[in-house]
Homo-oligomer: A and B are copies of this chain.
């Protein structure tokens, strides 16, 4: 079983890295890219947990360790 946790800046928070990449892509002639935002993601290999246990552990880790709740938000998915 594998979990993927995606952590991104809240929409209300300025994303300078995303802005910089967006500017560079535009300068390099890329077309149709209206905005770019950058985040982190974590691939977590799970072992010896059932689906509910995995959900609980991943959600707790995302909330308490992987995300700064002041400026970041997260979503996650679990693959069997």
Contacts and interface: CB of A to CB of B under 8 A. Distances in A.
Contact of A57 (B32, B38, B49): B32
Contact of A6 (B21, B41, B47, B64): B41
Interface in A21-49: 21, 24-25, 28, 30-49
B21 A65 contact: yes
A interface, size bucket:
35 or more
Given A25-B61, A65-B24, A65-B28, A38 B33 contact: no
A38 B34 contact: no
A14 B54 CA distance: 25
Contacts of A39: 40-43
